[in-house]
Amino acid sequence: MAVDLNDLIPGRVFHFKVGPRRVLAIEGDQVIWEWADEKQRSTSARPGGSMWLKSFAADASLDVVGVQPVRRMDLSGTTVLLSGEVVDVLDKPVTVKIRTLCPKKYVVVDLALGRVFELDGNGTESAGQSRIDAARQALRRAAELIVRGGR
């Protein structure tokens, strides 16, 4: 039985024929998910994946109970960043906009999952190594400025 698209929120676990999946994030029209039962699967080297939002909702059935606790997303309204910092999660998604003539000079970093995206003016895509290196240099420069007392 399908689930409502509004029920697909980070932290929720749904039953699929192949096993329970936990929603980690919604990015555009994609659901980023992980296996929620911690079983090793020979068909997949990855601990999860991404799936088109409508397909995920169509293939999912009711929430699963009795699975392992959420690792990164907590149903209390917080999430844990890779640094260990705990941050609040909003009740509803927000749209983040950047107004610029040069979108290629920006990257977006998911501090909870470690994913990096680059902008092209029409949307986002996973960043390549050269963009990740450029972001690393920019962050290093920002950290140096903070240490020196400038911004």
Same-domain status, 13 and 72: yes
User: Is 9 inside any structural domain?
Assistant: yes
State the average pLDDT for the chain: 79
- Specify if 106 maps to a domain: yes
Q: Which of 51, 78, 105 is the last residue of a domain?
A: 78
3-state SS string over the chain? CCCCHHHCCCCCEEECCCCCEEEEEEECCEEEEEECCCCCCCCCCCCEEEEEHHHHHHHCEEECCCCCCCCCEECCCEEECCCCCEEECCCCCCCCCCCCCCHHHCEEECCCCCCEEEECCCCEEECCHHHHHHHHHHHHHHHHHHHCCCC
What is the count of structural domains for the chain?
Answer: 2
**Do both 59 and 22 map to the same domain?**
yes
Look at the chain and count its residues.
Answer: 151
Domain end point (choices 52, 78, 104): 78
- 56: in domain: yes
Q: Which of 37-51, 58-72, 102-116 has the lowest mean pLDDT?
A: 58-72
Give the pLDDT of residue 102: 92
Q: Looking at the domain assignment, is residue 89 inside a domain?
A: no
Element (H, E) at 101: none
Residue 22 confidence (pLDDT): 83
pLDDT (tens digit per residue) in 114-143? 778 888 887 777 788 888 889 989 999 988
Question: pTM of the prediction?
Answer: 0.49
Domain boundary among 27, 52, 78: 78
Domain check: are 63 and 30 in the same one? yes
Kindly state whether residue 71 falls inside one of the protein's structural domains: yes
Structural domain that includes position 34: 5-78
Tell whether 17 and 69 lie within a shared domain: yes
